[in-house]
Amino acid sequence: MKTTPSRRSFLKLAAACTAPAFGSLAFAAPQTQQKFDKVADVIVIGSGFAGLAAALEAKEKGASVMLLEKMPAYGGNSAINGGAFAVAGSPLQEKEGIKDSPELMLQDMIKSGRGLSHVDLLKNIVYGTRPAFDFTVKYGVKYKPFVQHFGGHSVPRIMQTVESTGGGITRPLVEAAKNLGVDMHLGCAVTDLVLNDEGRVIGVKVLERHDYRKENSGVPQVYGARKGVVAATGGFSQNVAFRMQQDPTLGPNLESTNHPGATGEVLQNMLAIGALPIQLDQIQLGPWSSPDERGFGLVSQFNTIAGFPKGIMVDKRTGKRFVNELADRKARSDAILKQLDENGKPVYPICFTDSVGVKQAQTLKNGLKYGVIKKFNTLGELADAYGIPKEALIKQVEEFNAYVREGKDKQFDRPLALAIEIKKAPFYAARVWPKVHYCMGGVGITKNAEVLNVRTQKPIPGLYAAGEVTGGTHGASRLGGCAIADGLVTGRVAGDAVVANTPVNLE
């Protein structure tokens, strides 16, 4: 049986939802009588990787573009991410003789997704990473001159910005957008989507001069989009109530690495007009963060660049490793979250490496300064400082060093391509505990970034989405470096697709 109404009847339903923008009498009038304060071909919501890529792509293709950012600064959560970008087939991989391909990256991502990932969406991304990488280089993004190996990837394929943050990407892209004439709005919060009487998304209601700390602050405006609206608004890791509905374990006691704006209102808006929700309960914890600092912090990067690939992580009660330090994020977070004492309290694991291992760790200096990374002259001192059984720790290090020499991790089968023997003092260590990091779930999209309708599973006309606000791509666990890959690639796809859409007359 199929009681799902026909497409036509859904369109009428969606049409109805323009009401909040114009009041109920507007329904009797054709949408062309609706008044917009401003109109562009394309409206992009959000100024992270996905939003900037979409805006630039659309602008490059000749569209007039409005970009709306609710926070007081551009870049969204992307600006504070670690700037690590998984690229399958980068120039540096070629130079270093690392054999990689989109297909190999696809297999890594499928494995991490644990059966829940939508392979067609993943394919989009892996084949788009090299072009997206070139796109960023074209706009002046600078990468470090070495390739990194992140957990769950079968080869080193991480390019990282020289700044070690996503801001190293968002800043040049913001500049480029300004230079190209994208109409940029800061402090502009979208409160509603506006649909015409055929159910097509034709604009947004916003609050200009909005202060994100003050509910409903700002000046109401209504903006029209002739070709469509691209939602690139990221995840909801900072919306504790909403994330707890999806996963009750992610309560207020768990910190998030995200910026305070990661609260998901536009996602909820899209769902409220009938967008297909996919896997909203798949919420990722970052396994590399520290209980000793707030947010993403300095330790996260210390661990991804040094502690995990060039060191080991141990249970402080036993001095022993308990997980493959380069397993995917879910496997590592799940393992760390099991490190509890008899009262269920966290026993923070210790991750450490030696003076060779930390060479590329840019956050080391500040980490030491703020006391979240500690320096020790011997492994014995390190053991004493954290209360680790000394002999057991030294034995574990010797065992691991032997695995490195033999090229085979007999404990956890970790890839040892970048591993080193941990032996050259001083040693550097940090305490580890996961934080809420990324929402794999979101709205369902097509390969062309069109948002799907929950009843028909066909595109909602005029509505596109890209990046973290979309769902299903990464399944149960996103690999490190794949947020930038996803954001940039799907953003560019959305920008292309919305420009190709037939415009509606809004004047």
3-state class (DSSP) for residue 501: coil
142-181 residues near a second copy, rule: CB under 8 A: none
Q: What is the DSSP string of 348-389?
A: --EEEEETTTTTT-TTHHHHHHTTSSEEESSHHHHHHHHT--
Q: CB-wise, 190 or 299, nearer to a second copy?
A: 190
Handedness of CA 171, 173, 178, 183 (dihedral sign): negative
Query: Is 171 assigned a catalytic role?
Result: no
For the segment 25-44, give every residue that binds a second copy (CB under 8 A).
25-28
10 binds a second copy (CB under 8 A): yes
CB 347 within 8 A of CB 358: no
Least separation, in Å, of the C-beta of 118 and a second copy?
Answer: 6
Q: Which two tokens stand for residue 209?
A: 């001069």
- The least CB distance from residue 193 to a second copy, in Å, is 10
Fill in the DSSP letter of residue 445.
B
Binding test (CB under 8 A) with a second copy, winner from 197, 255, 315, 325: 197
Rule CB under 8 A: is residue 191 a binding residue for a second copy?
yes
Asked if 366 interacts with a second copy (CB under 8 A), we say no
Question: Would you give the end-to-end CA distance of the chain in angstroms?
Answer: 43
Which region among 110-118, 224-232, 379-387, 425-433 touches a second copy (by CB under 8 A)?
A: 110-118
**Would you count residue 78 as binding a second copy (CB under 8 A)?**
no
Number of residues that bind a second copy (CB under 8 A): 75
* Element holding 236 (H helix, E strand): none
Contact set for a second copy, span 411-450 (CB under 8 A): 441, 444
Q: What region, left, alpha or beta, does residue 419 occupy, with left being phi > 0 and alpha being psi -120 to 50 degrees?
A: beta
Number of Cα atoms under 13 Å in the Cβ half of residue 174: 20
CB 464 within 8 A of CB 450: yes
Is position 190 an interface residue for a second copy (rule: CB under 8 A)?
yes
Closest by CA position to 333, among listed 187, 216, 440, 453: 440
Closest to a second copy by CB, 52 vs 189, is 189
- Examine residue 281 and tell whether it contacts a second copy (CB under 8 A): yes
Name the DSSP class of 303: I
Binding flag, residue 272, a second copy (CB under 8 A): yes
Instruction: Give yes or no for residue 215 binding a second copy (CB under 8 A).
Output: yes
Q: Does 198 bind a second copy (CB under 8 A)?
A: no
Least distance to a second copy, CB of residue 109, Å: 13
Q: Does 19 bind a second copy (CB under 8 A)?
A: yes
> Nearer to a second copy by C-beta: 254 or 420?
254
- Site membership for a second copy, residue 277 (CB under 8 A): yes
Of 373 and 469, nearer to a second copy (C-beta) is 469
My answer on whether omega of the bond before 426 falls inside 30° of 0, hence cis, is yes
Find the part of the chain contacting a second copy (CB under 8 A) among 86-94, 135-143, 206-214, 419-427.
206-214
Q: Which is nearer to a second copy, 62 or 248 (CB)?
A: 248
- Residue 242 tokens read as 């909403």
351 touches 308 (CB < 8 A): yes
Structure tokens of 482?
């794949």
Binding of residue 243 to a second copy (CB under 8 A): no
Distance (Å) of CA 40 to CA 65, 119, 179, 273, 283: 6, 34, 17, 22, 34
By C-beta, is 72 or 140 nearer to a second copy?
Answer: 72
Shortest Cβ 362–a second copy spacing (Å): 31
Tokens of 139: 């706009």
For a second copy, the binding residue among 53, 56, 109, 116 (CB under 8 A) is 116
Find the catalytic residue in 200, 329, 332, 414. 329
To a second copy, the closest distance from the beta carbon of 4 in angstroms equals 5
Give whichever of 116 and 484 is closer to a second copy, judged by the CB atom: 116
Of 64, 107, 221, 246, the one binding a second copy (CB under 8 A) is: 246
Cβ neighbours around 360 below 10 Å, total = 15
The residue (of 245 and 318) whose beta carbon lies closer to a second copy is 245
Binding window for a second copy (CB under 8 A); candidates: 151-159, 211-219, 402-410, 426-434: 211-219
Do the beta carbons of residue 186 and residue 69 sit within 8 Å?
A: yes
266: left (phi over 0), alpha (psi -120 to 50) or beta: alpha
Q: Which residues are catalytic?
A: 329
